[in-house]
Chains A and B, each alone.
Chain A
Amino acid sequence: DAMVIQNPRYQVTQFGKPVTLSCSQTLNHNVMYWYQQKSSQAPKLLFHYYDKDFNNEADTPDNFQSRRPNTSFCFLDIRSPGLGDAAMYLCATSRHTGTGNEKLFFGSGTQLSVL
Chain B
Amino acid sequence: GQNIDQPTEMTATEGAIVQINCTYQTSGFNGLFWYQQHAGEAPTFLSYNVLDGLEEKGRFSSFLSRSKGYSYLLLKELQMKDSASYLCAVRDSNYQLIWGAGTKLIIKP
Contact = CB atoms under 8 A, between A and B. Distances in A.
Interface residues of A, number: 19
Could you tell me the dominant secondary structure of chain B's interface residues? loop
A90 B42 contact: yes
Interface string A73-115: 0000000000000001010100000101101111111010000
Interface in B68-91: 85, 87, 91
A33 to B, nearest CB: 9
Interface of B: 4, 8, 30-31, 33, 40-45, 48, 50, 85, 87, 91, 95-97, 99-102, 104
Contacts of A105: 45
Contact of B31 (A45, A88, A101): A101
Given A40-B8, A42-B99, A45-B97, A100 B43 contact: no
Given A40-B102, A42-B101, A103 B41 contact: no
Given A100-B30, A109-B41, 10 more contacts: A42-B100, A43-B87, A92-B42, A100-B31, A100-B50, A100-B95, A103-B48, A104-B43, A106-B43, A109-B40
B40 A111 contact: yes
B99 A43 contact: yes
B4 A42 contact: yes
B99 A40 contact: no
